[in-house]
Amino acid sequence: MTNAEAQALNKKFVVDITRWVSAAKGKVDDVVRKILYDVSSAIILRTPVDTGRLRGNWQFGEDAIPKGETGNTGTPDFSAQIKNAKAGHIYYIVNNLPYASVIEYGQYPNPPKGGAGKTSGGYSTQAPAGMVRVTVMEYEKYLREAVIKARSE
pLDDT tens-digit readout, 95-148: 999 989 988 988 777 666 665 567 777 777 788 888 999 998 898 898 889 888
- Sorting pLDDT into bands at 50, 70 and 90, what band is 69? very high
pLDDT tens-digit readout, 29-54: 988 999 999 999 999 999 999 899 99
Q: Are 146 and 31 in contact (CB under 8 A)?
A: yes
Closest CA to 36 of 71, 2, 110, 86: 86
User: Using CB atoms within 10 A of its CB, is residue 74 exposed (0-12), middle (13-18) or buried (19+)?
Assistant: exposed
Axis-axis angle for helices 28-46, 3-21 (nearest 10): 140
